[in-house]
Amino acid sequence: MTTLTAPPKTAPPPAGHRSPSGVSKWRRRIPLLPALIFTIVVTQLPFVATLVISTFQWNILRPGDRHFTGLSNYAFVFTDERLRAAVLNTVVLTASVVLISVLLGLGLAMLLDRRFIGRGLARTLLIAPFLVMPVAASLLWKHAIYNPDYGLLNGTLNAVYRLFGASNGPTVDWISSYPMPAVVVSLVWQWTPFMMLILLAGLQSQPGDVLEAARMDGAGAMATFRYITLPHLRQYLELGILLGTIYVVQTFDAVYTITQGGPGSQTTNLPYEIYLTMFRKYEYGQAAAAGVVVVLGSIVIATFALRTIASLFREEVSR
Amino acid sequence: MTHAAVAAPGARFKKLLRDKDDPSSPRLSPLWTFVAWLATLAFFAPVAWMVLTSFHKEADAATNPPTPFAPLTFDQYKLLFSRDITPFLLNSAMASVISTLLVLVLAVPTAYALSIKPVEKWTDVMFFFLSTKFLPAIAALLPVYLIVKDVGMLDNVWTLIVLYTAMNLPIAVWMMRSFLAEVPKEILEAAEVDGANLFTVLWRVVAPIAMPGLAATSLICFIFSWNEFMFAVNLTATQASTAPVFLVGFITNEGLFLARLCAAATLVSLPVLIAGFAAQDKLVRGLSLGAVK
């Protein structure tokens, strides 16, 4: 699609043809300015403020005691056990949600790439979890599914046990027994459709003649997948993983509603820990420092993400 | 070979066919069809359960084992509206719709300046916009909270509108650029050579091609604003709270009413579900910022 039929690059227009004088250059930039200025004001200034606040000892419960404290908040952030636990939880949560939902999404996309009875309906039903409001989904999982007494999970187990003659099924308190898996499952449920949609788009952009040629040459399904489909899907997998990571790292709704970070701090991820520092402990300086650290961490992830997107993007621009 | 011959002019049409029922696309075996449907139903089950429970009486909702065939009723929905979910829905609608409109007003000229008549270093500008999307919102919450408190804009829908506009603008710029980039340069140049003025070019050439993109962009912005929770719960109190805040507050204030919770969850998810189902094809492109067609 990219190279074979591409016409030779046309020569650049002769110099002077467009003569971008100063005035016309600015005229071209004008449509850009409102959005640019708005974005800088609303997104960059708060980060400058965060940087400043992070150097203050500032707890609103002690109003008289606000003073510059240098980097001590950062020292706190890097030595605090709760924060370290929060970093670990964030990594575990994000990695498991993204990996599991990519694998499930890949499986579903492979199935939905083929024709079968009711494929359109199946696709529609499958994207529903992604469209349910995240807070609603979290509450649904917490109360209607995981609840030990009348949740769907225990209820179904109970019904199955009775079917086989037992008087009662087990009563498992899913959220307190398996807090992290409980959050992960609900998020995997939400994010799998997203991965499926991206990977399905990737599969359907595969040139049919290449697959046909592979079949003609006697390549088995596994070989075709391994040597043709997977390399083709690579960019889509990368994109899904990176966009998923960016969003799942920021998970707040699910932790806030399903576990409130507990039990203890077993499911407290960084966003929720920062929220607690800010609105429960009122330690503004510490919260800001933690925020800055999170931003630095995100920049690392974002650098990879931008590189991936840039490569997809370059292909398009050069087309 | 035969494929290549027809691919060029009919490529779009062919892709549409493939989505539907292209006879050349391979069929799934019965066994795998069964697996596909099983997986689909497993994923859809919580949504189905939510909707079903929302039409049950409270006594039939919280049972063990579950009673899916209990009689149906609209009571929960009636109760929700009599208990004043309406202002929350109105706040959500106002925040989502106005911020979406603002995003379009800001993003369309920007996308134009980045694709049809690109400024110098336009890719740098694109990546600047995108990079703001990768900064975690939680890190902005504190300064935003302090500033908003200082200027007396806590618990005000317009605060959310400004934040949602900033949150969605980068996505919208990327999406709109990818749609505007599809306007064939030759046609634009031809129109200019024919002496068409800017307005005519925009209205006659660009707009028809960009309209579906505009719709998709609006949809994505609407979804993200409608679903946003963190800013809404921390920056609003009684006047400006949105639907997700209602959901959470309603649990802690009234104890647990499972059927009513399901009704509320269904109700607040409904606009996005309908819009998302209606525009499934556009969703992919929007979610991937236009990087995947």
Q: State both tokens at A80.
A: 């605090």
Nearest in space to A306 (alpha carbons), one of A231, A244, A256, A239: A239
Instruction: Give the list of residues 6+ apart from residue B185 with CB closer than 8 angstroms, or none.
Output: none
The reply to whether residue A133 touches residue B247, judged by beta carbons under 8 angstroms, is yes
Among A42, A111, A291, select the one facing B32 at the smallest CB separation. Answer: A111
Segment 38-97 of chain B within 8 Å of chain A by CB? 39-41, 43-47, 49-50, 53, 61-66
Task: CATH number of the domain at A131, please.
Answer: 1.10.3720.10
Q: How far apart are CA B165 and CA A287, in angstroms?
A: 25
Decide if A88 is inside a domain.
yes
Note which residues in 152-181 of chain B have CB less than 8 A from chain A. 162-163, 165-166, 169-170, 173, 178, 181
Report the predicted TM-score, pTM, of the whole model to 2 decimal places: 0.86
Three-state SS sequence of B40-81: HHHHHHHHHHHHHHHCCCHHHHCCCCCCCCCCCCCHHHHHHH
Token duo for residue A212: 């046909």
Q: Which residue has the tokens 């925009």?
A: B202
The DSSP line for B168-217 is HHHHHHHHHHHHHTTS-HHHHHHHHHTT--HHHIIIIIIHHHHHHHHHHH
Domain range summary for chain B, segments of one domain joined by +? 3-291
Is A17 domain-assigned? no
CA dist., res. B162 & res. A38, Å (int): 9
* Nearby residues of A28 by Cβ (< 8 Å), 6 or more positions away: A20, B113, B117, B119
φ and ψ of B179, to 5 deg: -75, -45
Residue A282 lies in a domain: no
Q: Which residues of B touch A35 (CB under 8 A)?
A: 106-107, 109-110, 129, 169, 173
Residue A115 within any structural domain of the chain:
yes
How many domains does the structure of chain A reveal? 1
Q: Is the dihedral of CA A196, B282, A190, B174 positive or negative?
A: positive
Window B:100-159, CB contacts with A under 8 Å: 106-107, 109-110, 112-114, 117, 119-120, 123, 125-147
B291, containing H or E segment:
none
B123 and A313: CB-CB below 8 Å? Answer: yes
**Is residue B65 reached through a cis peptide bond, with omega within 30 degrees of 0 on the bond before it?**
yes
Q: Is residue A114 part of a domain?
A: yes
Q: How close A65 comes to chain B (CA, Å)? A: 17
Nearest residue, CB atoms, A198 vs list B64, B134, B292: B292
Asked if B232 has any chain A CB less than 8 Å from its own CB, the reply is no
State how far the Cα of B248 lies from the Cα of A136, in Å rounded to an integer: 8
Residue partners of A137: CB distance under 8 A and separation at least 6: A129, A186, A189, A190, A254, B46, B265
Residue A235 forms part of a structural domain = yes
Residue A241 belongs to domain spanning: 81-270+297-318
Chain B closest-CA separation from residue A288 CA (Å) = 7
CATH (residue range B3-291): 1.10.3720.10
pLDDT in tens, chain A (319 residues): 333 333 444 444 444 444 556 777 777 788 889 999 999 999 888 888 888 888 888 887 777 777 787 788 888 888 888 888 998 999 999 999 999 999 999 999 999 998 899 999 999 999 999 999 999 999 999 999 998 888 899 888 988 888 888 788 788 899 999 999 999 999 999 999 999 999 998 888 887 778 778 878 887 788 888 888 888 888 889 888 888 888 898 899 999 999 988 888 899 999 999 999 988 888 899 899 999 988 888 888 778 777 877 777 776 665 5
